[in-house]
Structure 1
Amino acid sequence: MYKQITIYDLLEILSKKLGPQNWWPAENTEDMLSGMILIQNTNWKNADRSLANLKQATNFETDRILALSTDEMEQLIQPSGFFHNKAIYLRSMLTAYRDNFDDWSKLSTPLLRKKLIAMKGVGNETADVLLLYYFHRPAFVADNYSMKLFTKLHTFTTKPTYIQLKTAVERDFKLESKQAEELHALIDEFGKLKSDYFDDYQLKLPYL
C-alpha cells in the first residue's frame, strides 16, 4: 500500500529535504535568458562554459550580444553544443526580450505561452520556464526530471506526454508563482540525487 500525497505535500517534503533553491541561477536577466537557450540538450557544465564566454565578451548586455556577428556568437557558445542553431535561438530570444516582452507581459497566460512557443528554439519546456522565471506565472514544467519523479510516484499507469503531465498537474494548481518556481527547482535538484526516497509513495492528482 502506497502512502498517498498531493502536489502540495510533494512541495513540502522536498522543501524540508533540500531547502530553498531560489532559482533561476543567474547574474542578470540576459544571463538567465541566455542560459535557457544554452542549457537545451546539454548539461549545466557545458552551458556555464558558454555563459562565461558570453559574459567575458559582452558583460551580458543585450545590445552587445546582439551586435555579435554570427561567427562570433557561435564561437562563444560552442561549448554548449548545437551552436549554429543556438546562436539563432539566442538572437531571437534576446531580440524578443528587447522589443516584445514588456508588451507580452500584459497578455493572459495562454496567449503569452502561444507567443513564446512561436519563437525560434522555444518548445514546451523553455516556454514554461520563461513563464515561471521571467513572467512569474504559476506554470508547471513537465521536464525529464518531473516525468521520472511522477513515474516513480505511480501517478500514471502509462507514461504521459509533456502536455498530458503539465495539464494534469495544472488542472488544480493553486501554487503562487514563487512556489511553482521552487517546485520546479526542487524536482530537478532531487532528480540529480537518484534517490529511492519516494518508492513507497503515490502522488494523486485530481481528475485522474
Structure 2
Amino acid sequence: MIDLRALHRELRDRHGPQGWWWPGEEPFEIALGAVLVQRSRWEQAASAIAALRGAGLQDAPTLAAADEETVRELVRPAGFPRTKPRRVQSLARWWAGHAATARTLSDEQLRSELLGIEGVGEETADALSLYCFGRPAFLCDEYARRVLGDRGAEVPGSYPAFRRALAPALSTAGFEVSELAELHGLIVEEGKARGRKASAQVVERTASSGRSTTD
C-alpha cells in the first residue's frame, strides 16, 4: 500500500507549498472551471469564464436563466459548443437550487447529487466536492495515475476501481481537506514536470540521432 503521507512530503519538498490549489475566486467559478476545462486546456476554460463574467453571467441564477445561444457564444473558447453551454447551464440550475443546502448532505449524498448534473462525471464530482464544498476527496485523474503508478501503487483501469483501490491508503493517511487540496496540486505539478522531462528526453534523443524534430 502506497504511503500517501510520504508522497505528500516528497512532492511538497520538491515543488513547494501549493495551498488551496484549484484556480477560481469563489466556489461557483471553481465549479464552472471544472466543467469548462473538460477535454480542453485551462487557458481555454479561463477565457470562457472571463467572457461569462464580462457579460454579467458569472452567478448561478443569472447563468441558469440566460439564453442558450448567448451562453454558447460566450463559452465557445472552451470548445465543444454543442455540449458545454448546456452543461454549464445544467450546473448553474443545480447550483441555484441546491448548493445552499449542500452542507446538510453527507459526503456520499453530495457526490451522488453532483453526479446527477449533466456533464459532471466521477473526476469532476470529486473536484467539486473537494474544492467547492470542502469535502474529503482524492482526484483519481491521469496525473495521479501516472505519479502513483511510478511509485508502485496499484492503478486499476477505471476511475471507480482506482478510487476503491486507494481508499485504504487514504484512510491510513488521515488527511485534512486542506491537505487533500494541496496534494492534488502537488500531483499535478509533478505530472507536468514528468511530462516536460519526457519531452526533453525525446528532443535530446532526436538531436543525437541527427534528425530534425520538425520532420
Where relative contact order (Cα < 8 A, 6+ residues apart) is larger, the structure is 1
Q: Which residue of 119, 122, 143 maps to 2:117? A: 119
Q: Which amino acid aligns with 1:107?
A: L
Cα shift at 1:77: 0.5
Q: For 1:168 and 1:86, how far apart are their aligned partners in 2?
A: 31
Moved more, 114-123 or 55-64: 55-64
Please give the alpha-carbon distance, in whole angstroms, between the structure 1 residues aligned to 2:140 and 2:169: 15
User: SS state of the match for residue 83, structure 1?
Assistant: coil
Q: State how far apart, in whole Å, the 1-side matches of 2:27 and 2:119 are.
A: 18
- Structure 1 residues 67 and 111 mapped into 2: Cα distance closer, same or farther (>3 Å)? closer
Question: Which structure 2 residues correspond to residues 5-84 of structure 1 after superposition, within 5 A?
Answer: 6-21=3-18, 22-58=20-56, 60-84=58-82
Deviations 1:90-118 (A, max 9, x none): 11112211111222321111222111111
The equivalent of 1:201 in structure 2 is none
| Residue 191 (structure 1) aligned with residue 191 (structure 2) | yes
Superposed, 1:91-110 pairs within 5 Å as 91-110=89-108
Taking the aligned partners of 1:70 and 1:37, their CA distance within structure 2 comes to 16
Query: What's the CA shift string for 1:138-197, capped at 9, x where partnerless?
Result: 1111011111112211212x643211221222224211111111111111121111267x
> RMSD of the TM alignment (CA)?
1.9
SS state of the match for residue 168, structure 1?
Answer: helix
Secondary structure of 1:135's counterpart equals: coil
Q: TM-score, normalised by structure 2?
A: 0.82
71-80 or 23-32: bigger deviation: 23-32
Structure 1 gap ranges (5+): 197-208
**Greater shift in the superposed pair: 6-15 or 101-110:** 101-110
Q: Give the structure 2 partner of residue 162 of structure 1.
A: 159
Q: Give me the whole-angstrom Cα distance separating, in 2, the residues matched to 1:60 and 1:44.
A: 17
TM-score normalised according to structure 1 size: 0.85
State the distance in 2 between where 1:52 and 1:7 align.
Answer: 36
Q: CA offset at residue 59 of structure 1?
A: 6.0
Equivalent pair of 1:54/1:77 in contact (CA under 8 Å): yes
Contact 1:151 1:159 in 2 (8 A): no
CA shift in 2, pair 1:64/1:115, >3 Å: closer
Taking a change above 3 Å as real, the CA distance of residues 36 and 16 of structure 1, as seen in their structure-2 partners, is same
Structure 1 CA distance for aligned equivalents of residues 113 and 60 of structure 2:
20
Aligned length: 192
Cα distance in 1 for partners of 2:11, 2:143 equals: 14
| Alpha-carbon separation, structure 2, partners of 1:153 and 1:23 | 23
Distance in 2 (alpha carbons) for counterparts of 1:59 and 1:70? 12
CA distances 1:13-62 after superposition (whole Å, capped 9, x unpaired): 11111122222211222321110110011111111111121111116233
Structure 2: any 5+ residue segments left out of the alignment? Answer: 198-215
Counterpart position of 2:204: none
SS at match of 1:26: coil
- Aligned positions of 1:126-205 closer than 5 A: 126-156=124-154, 159-173=156-170, 174-194=174-194
User: C-alpha separation between the residues in 1 aligned to 2:167 and 2:133?
Assistant: 17
Higher helix share: 2
Q: CA offsets per residue over residues 78-137 of structure 1, 9 Å max, x none?
A: 111112211111111122111112223211112221111111111000000011011111
